[in-house]
Amino acid sequence: MEIVIIIVAGILIATATYLMLSKSILRIVIGTGLLAHGAHILLLAMGGLKRGAAPLLGQQADAYADPLPQALILTAIVISFGVTSFFLVLAYRAYQELKTDDMDKLRGNENHE
């Protein structure tokens, strides 16, 4: 099972890399979203995907799934959620102000401010 998840994570991260190398800001933001997904399911897979009940003591099971990676992912999801929303607003503001969403046109140096 881990193998499948790791391959999926690899595909997600490859797609993310491809999107982040493109010109449009929106595609880049989508890329960062996919990158976060890839990282999170990788974290889940690396914690081990053994069979076991959900980590709730009320379940009275013999074996539980590892609760630590789930807590880590929850934290990482919230953080990446916050950063993504900031990034989207920043992209929107930059689009309003700079009148372009093309990263190539956002190059330039001090002489072209």
Contacts with another protein, residue ranges (CB under 8 A)? 20, 25, 28, 32, 35-36, 38-40, 42-43, 45-48, 68-69, 72, 75-76, 79-80, 82-83, 86-87, 90-91, 93-94, 97-98, 103, 106, 108, 110, 113
Min dist CB 56 to another protein, Å, is: 19
> In the beta sheet, which residues pair with residue 64?
53
Min dist CB 53 to another protein, Å, is: 20
CA dist., res. 87 & res. 26, Å (int): 10
Cα 100 to the center of its chain, rounded Å: 25
Residue 69 CB neighbour total at 10 angstroms: 19
Secondary structure (3-state) at 23: coil
Min dist CB 26 to another protein, Å, is: 12
Which DSSP helix (H) or strand (E) runs through 110? none
